[in-house]
Amino acid sequence: MQKPHELYSSLAIRNDNKILVLVVDGLGGMSHKDYGYKTELEYANHPNLDRLASRGTTGMLTPVLPGVTPGSGPAHLGLFGLDPISFNIGRGVLEALGIGLAPAPTDVLARGNFCTIDHEGAIIDRRAGRIPTDVCKQRLALLRNIHLPQADIELHAVQDHRFVLRLKGTDLDGNIENTDPGVVGAKPKPARPLIPRAETTARIINAFVDQAMDRLKEQSAANALVLRGFSMMPNIPSFYELYRLRSAAFAIYPMYKGLARAVGMDVIDCGRTLSDQLQTLETHWDRYDYFFIHYKYTDSSGEDGDFLSKVSHIEALDSSIDVLVRLDRAVLAITGDHSTPAGIKSHSWHPVPLLLASPTCRRDGSTAFTETICARGALGNMESKYLMGLLLGHALRLEKFGA
């Protein structure tokens, strides 16, 4: 059956109407018993968001399927109109995107951790004491020029003990088990192929690991490495191919820049605050049709379990969005990629509130931007992968389907 993005793509046309999506990371919350069973968004004071809701329409997005908690990759692909189950982005690819690499679809990527092992080879510190990034780079330097007959290995420091391994070759396959046993006391495992086609790749990885371990063994700490999240870049069409949209991302954190790059957006340098991001956006207004703005702090404070901090980040956001209110001829969506309730301290499955405002929308009488209001909004509850179609529709950028 045709996927939603294929139908949208077949109908997409160009015009001058702009689309602006503000992704408030981890926006959705959960009733919190210490705060009158309100969510963070219900507890916070956000008159500007409420005003936007009252001149728009609201609903709920289910990132993947009911009950399923998404990682950041699938959650964003959904918002970009791609079915997150078909276009799964692995951990290795996501890390690579996060440091600005542009993996080819033939590369195999993995997330690497330096760890510390004892004289018998058992892991005694899975993060090698979170060595500084500089030490990580020194260790990677030791691993330079490891020669493998059938592929090239690239290693890139990320932060602390973390790095990205990129294997370049022909006929590689990423279906390989983690070498990271995931627990202290166990030894790093060999890379095992999950399917026959990955046997050669697993052999290359193991040849690399053997030589690398040999070069690291003299160190007192960070004297070994483990790999996980072996994966390959899915073949993702670009936003322009798909939707005829010139698109730009205004994100601060590397991973979100990477996700935007993966769908062919231009990534714009935009400072350190939401105000910076929105001001930069204004200066790029004429050059693009679609603007992706990513706001991180609601997710971080949710992950920390800090209800009031998440509330204050929502309120800070609210006080910065007058630019959005000014750009009132655009199709504006404010939503999250997923929920991150402070009460759970992690991503969750709860649907995400969605606010859509545009001159073409059907106002639904929403009086505020909260989960409770959005759950009763006129857009209903839909999977995130339909949002792009809704935005294109409101921007009059989809031709009539059929005669």
Site residues (CB under 8 A) for a copy of itself, limited to 57-96: 60, 64-74, 84-86, 88-91, 94
Residue 35 CB, shortest distance to a copy of itself, in Å, is 12
* Residues within window 92-121 making contact with a copy of itself, judged by CB under 8 A: 94
Kindly state whether residue 31 participates in binding a copy of itself, applying the rule CB under 8 A: yes
Q: Determine the Cα–Cα distance for residues 355 and 368; give it in Å rounded to an integer.
A: 10
Q: Which is nearer to a copy of itself, 193 or 258 (CB)?
A: 258
Among 9, 17, 39, 116, binds a copy of itself (CB under 8 A): 39
Residues 6+ apart with CB under 8 A from 366: 53, 54, 56, 57, 58, 355, 373, 374, 377, 378
* Residues within window 364-393 making contact with a copy of itself, judged by CB under 8 A: 364-365, 371-372, 375-382, 386-393
User: How deeply is 200 buried, as exposed, middle or buried, from its count of CB atoms within 10 A (0-12, 13-18, 19+)?
Assistant: middle
**What secondary structure does DSSP assign to 132-185, as a single string?**
-HHHHHHHHHHTTT---TT-EEEEEE-STTEEEEEEE-SS----B--S--SSTT
Q: Which is nearer to a copy of itself, 227 or 278 (CB)?
A: 227
Residue 8 CB, shortest distance to a copy of itself, in Å, is 7
Distances (CA, A) of 302 to 22, 115, 310, 341: 18, 28, 6, 5
Residue 394 CB, shortest distance to a copy of itself, in Å, is 7
Residue 388 CB, shortest distance to a copy of itself, in Å, is 8
Among 2, 145, 170, 220, binds a copy of itself (CB under 8 A): 2
Q: Which is nearer to a copy of itself, 240 or 349 (CB)?
A: 349
Kindly state whether residue 159 participates in binding a copy of itself, applying the rule CB under 8 A: no
Q: Which residues of 132-170 are buried (b: 16+ CB within 10 A; e: fewer)?
A: eeebbeebbeebeebeeeebebebbbbebbbbbbbbebe
Is 161 in contact with 116 (CB distance < 8 Å)? no
Residue 60 CB, shortest distance to a copy of itself, in Å, is 7
Q: Which is nearer to a copy of itself, 129 or 254 (CB)?
A: 254
Q: Which is nearer to a copy of itself, 44 or 135 (CB)?
A: 44
Residue 116 CB, shortest distance to a copy of itself, in Å, is 24
- How many residues bind a copy of itself (CB under 8 A)? The answer is 77
* Residues within window 340-359 making contact with a copy of itself, judged by CB under 8 A: 341, 343-344, 346-351, 359
Q: Which is nearer to a copy of itself, 31 or 312 (CB)?
A: 31
Task: Report which of 355, 384, 351, 358 is spatially closest to residue 368, judged by C-alpha positions.
Answer: 355
Distances (CA, A) of 61 to 32, 78, 281, 319, 357: 21, 10, 25, 24, 16
* Residues within window 204-233 making contact with a copy of itself, judged by CB under 8 A: 229
Q: Which is nearer to a copy of itself, 222 or 255 (CB)?
A: 255
* Residues within window 5-24 making contact with a copy of itself, judged by CB under 8 A: 7-8, 11
Among 14, 16, 29, 103, binds a copy of itself (CB under 8 A): 29
Q: Determine the Cα–Cα distance for residues 126 and 117; give it in Å rounded to an integer.
A: 8
Q: Determine the Cα–Cα distance for residues 301 and 243; give it in Å rounded to an integer.
A: 34
Among 14, 15, 16, 37, binds a copy of itself (CB under 8 A): 37
Residue 389 CB, shortest distance to a copy of itself, in Å, is 3
Task: Report which of 243, 192, 257 is spatially closest to residue 81, judged by C-alpha positions.
Answer: 243
Q: Which is nearer to a copy of itself, 44 or 89 (CB)?
A: 89
Q: Which is nearer to a copy of itself, 1 or 183 (CB)?
A: 1
Is 109 in contact with 171 (CB distance < 8 Å)? no
Residue that is written with structure tokens 């290795």 in the block: 92
Q: Which is nearer to a copy of itself, 28 or 302 (CB)?
A: 28
Strands of the sheet with 331-335, listed across from one edge: 266-267, 247-250, 290-295, 19-24, 331-335, 352-357, 57-62, 381-383
Kindly state whether residue 124 participates in binding a copy of itself, applying the rule CB under 8 A: no
